[in-house]
Amino acid sequence: MKRLLILEDGTVFEGKAFGAEVNVVGEIVFTTSMTGYQETITDQSFNGQIITFTYPMVGNYGVNRDDYESISPTCKGVVVKEHARLASNWRAQMTLDEFLKRKGIPGISGIDTRALTRKLRSVGTMKAGFIDADDDLTHEFDQLKATVLPKNQVAQVSTTKPYPSPGIGRNVVVVDFGLKHSILRELSKRHCNLTVLPYNTSAETILELSPDGVMLTNGPGDPKDVPEAIKMIQEIQGKVPIFGICLGHQLFALANGADTYKMKFGHRGLNHPVREIATGKIDFTSQNHGYAVDEKTVDPEKLMVTHVEVNDGSVEGVRHRQYPAFTVQYHPDAAPGPHDGLHLFDEFMELMDAWKEQD
């Protein structure tokens, strides 16, 4: 069945439908990953977004439950050049088409994703929609332009109730802003006893659990839309070690007086080079964010910028000068992606141990 992808600026792409047969509207973004479409689609940081895959063929190894980053993905749609109808992998449990149908997510194939990506790079991310080929274009464009994208994205994806992931080691509170399962996997590998809490949990509740450390996870949207988390971070820092990832990094920076800004098209995909300032070491990283910390607003008496993105110089990591706390913009859990940043989880373990020794 023919489907149309329409962009806020009036552009129309024609393609073929797969996945769920529904019309949607969302912010359209692109990811440069050559693999890892399962992890990408199930990453809650893509909440409300239409994901364009720049790699020309998607779906060729099917979908496997082990590779989900969340149980219920909340992206709005999937755009590909070619949708592989045959899934050829011994681990595959279903095709990508079947998976998207089960999750109510539409896909569109046959799109010139190179032309689409070039447009998004030059114009920036924008609203887009999937419609049927025989729909009234004038009406659909009016509807698209009138659509107001939601601001409560973290509330849509965070757990609503606390839950444990038992271990026998360090007690870590994980504040869920839209966490990826790979963060829990990496902490569990290090035998941490985990308690996952909703995004709006108070500092008092967190500290009552006597954690050895607090993990601030990734998540979708504008960090300024989560003021309760900023207040919580201000109240727990200095009382417990903190490690933040992606949205957690931005929230931590805001809590310490820095500002954030919306990027033109963001960083999404694999192998983004990040330089550690102290050593000059380059790590290749997995990234998924549309906002960044404004380096000009970082108070040097509070925070030290530790990492920068090689391509555009944007802030990729900070460390508090007084408190045991550090954060990175990229995804060291690396699902999908290179494993260059996994050592940060070990540094978090060392930070917690050093803090306990001081007590």
Is 19 annotated to bind a ligand? Reply is no
H or E segment and range at residue 194: strand 193-197
Residue 173 DSSP label: E
- Token reading at 135: 């729909």
The helix (H) or strand (E) run that includes residue 268 is strand 260-276
Radius of gyration of the chain (CA): 20
Is the CB of residue 245 less than 8 Å from the CB of residue 327?
yes
d(CA 103, CA 201): 29
- Catalytic site includes residue 339: no
Consult the annotation and say whether 213 binds a ligand. Answer: no
Residue 107 among known ligand-binding residues: no
Among the listed residues 43, 176, 212, 333, the single catalytic one is: 333
Structure tokens belonging to residue 16: 């073929």
* Cα gap 288→221, rounded to integer Å: 11
Known binding residue 288? Answer is yes
Closest alpha carbon to 162 in 180, 175, 181, 171: 175
| SS3 (DSSP) at 343 | helix
State yes or no: is 340 an active-site residue.
no
Does 219 appear as a known binding residue? yes
181, 246, 267, 272: the catalytic one is 246
Residue 291 is labelled as binding a ligand: yes
Burial of 42 (0-12, 13-18, 19+ CB in 10 A): buried
Tokens of 79: 């755009």
- Catalytic option among 83, 181, 307, 331: 331
Active site residue 307: no
Binding residues: 45, 219, 221, 247, 250, 288, 290-291
Which residues are catalytic, by number? 246, 331, 333
Binding residues for L-glutamine: 45, 219, 221, 247, 250, 288, 290-291
